[in-house]
Amino acid sequence: MTERAHTTNRVPAVSRRPRIGLVAGGLGAYWPQFPGLLPQLEDSARRVAERLREFDAEVVDVGFLSDAEQGAKAAARLREADCDLIVGFLTTYMTATMLVPIAQRGGAPVLLINLQPTAAMDHATFDTGQWLAYCGACPLPEMANAFERVGVDFRSVSGHLEDERAWQRIGRWIRAAGVRAVLREGRHGLMGHLYPGMYDVSTDLTMVPGSFGGHVEVLEFDDLRVRTEAATQAETAAKLAETREVFRIAPSVDEDDLTWAARVAVGLDHLVADFDLDSLAYYHRGLGGEVHERLGAGMILGASLLTARGVPAAGEYELRTSLAMLMCDRLGAGGSFTELQALDFDAGVVEMGHDGPGHLAISNERPLLRGLGVYHGKRGWGVSVEFDVRHGPVTLVGVGQGRGGRYRLVAAQGRVVDGPRLRIGNTTSRVDFDTDPGEWTDAWSASGVGHHWALATGHLLPELRALADLTGLELSEVTGPVA
How large is the angle between the packed helices 37-53 and 164-185, nearest 10 degrees?
60
Please tell me the predicted confidence (pLDDT) of residue 299.
94
Cα(459)–Cα(393) distance, rounded to whole angstroms? Answer: 6
In the predicted model, residues of the chain with pLDDT beneath 70 are 1-15, 376-377, 480-483
Cα(126)–Cα(142) distance, rounded to whole angstroms? Answer: 25
Please tell me the predicted confidence (pLDDT) of residue 376.
67
Q: How many residues does the chain have?
A: 483
Angle at 167 between CA 163 and CA 171, to 5 degrees: 175
Cα(49)–Cα(142) distance, rounded to whole angstroms? Answer: 24
Q: Is residue 265 a contact partner of residue 239, using CB atoms and an 8 Å limit?
A: yes
Q: Is residue 277 a contact partner of residue 254, using CB atoms and an 8 Å limit?
A: no
Cα(110)–Cα(165) distance, rounded to whole angstroms? Answer: 20
Instruction: Please report the domains of the chain, with CATH numbers, ordered by start residue.
Output: 19-183 (3.40.50.10940), 186-477 (3.20.14)
Please tell me the predicted confidence (pLDDT) of residue 15.
60
Please tell me the predicted confidence (pLDDT) of residue 481.
62
Q: How far is CA 336 from CA 78, 116, 118, 352, in A?
A: 36, 41, 42, 11
Cβ-Cβ contacts under 8 Å for 282 (sequence gap 6 or more): 189, 190, 191, 192, 221, 296, 299, 303, 313, 314, 315, 317
- Strand 426-432 relative to strand 349-355, pairing: antiparallel
Output the pTM of the full model: 0.93
- Strand 349-355 relative to strand 334-344, pairing: antiparallel
Angle at 348 between CA 342 and CA 350, to 5 degrees: 30
Q: Residue 434: in which H helix or E strand, if any?
A: none
**Closest C-alpha among 52, 179, 156, 110 to residue 467:** 179
